[in-house]
Amino acid sequence: MIETYPEAVEWLYNRVNFERLGVGQYGRNDFKLERMQRLLEAIGNPQEQIPVVHIAGTKGKGTTATLVDSILREAGYRVGLFTSPHMFRIEERFLVNGCQISEERFLKLVRRMEDYVTQTREEAPELLPTFFEITTAMAWL
């Protein structure tokens, strides 16, 4: 069981992370939508309840996301912003109304993911979620 914030960060960084693997170290068969579908189902499918603006493309995503975040907050909405990668601390990926989540909140979210990963390792090890899938699920929560 993860007890501390540093343990939570270490646990998360020990997941498969395609952001850090070099090209050629993974292939098309490594990407399985079923991993993310199972993870989202396990946490209650929050993506079906929360309105979202999904920004994709090759250039300008961070700027566009930040602008949308600012506009929505100015209009009075409570806004969560999930981006990747981060520069210094993992919490930079998770903003709520412009503020990073706390170490305590991060620890709670990782603990919830740890429970799911432990269960999945026993039931379907081929579907263990990756670093990005886990952080995405954490953002939904």
Q: Domain boundaries in the chain?
A: 5-52+80-140
CA dihedral 32→36→38→39, nearest 10 degrees, is: 140
Question: For position 21, what pLDDT does the model report?
Answer: 59
Q: Is 107 helix (H, G, I), strand (E, B) or coil?
A: helix
The burial class, CB within 10 Å (0-12 / 13-18 / 19+), for 114 is middle
Write down the architecture of domain 5-52+80-140 according to CATH: 3-Layer(aba) Sandwich (3.40)
pTM above 0.85, yes or no: yes
Q: What is the mean pLDDT of the chain?
A: 90
**Distance (Å, whole) CA 84 – CA 62:** 9
pLDDT at 57 over 90: no
Decide if 2 contacts 105 (C-beta within 8 A).
no
CA distance 138 to 135: 5
For the segment 108-132, the average pLDDT, to the nearest whole number, is 92
- Convert the pLDDT of each residue in 62-86 to its tens digit: 999 999 999 999 999 999 999 988 8
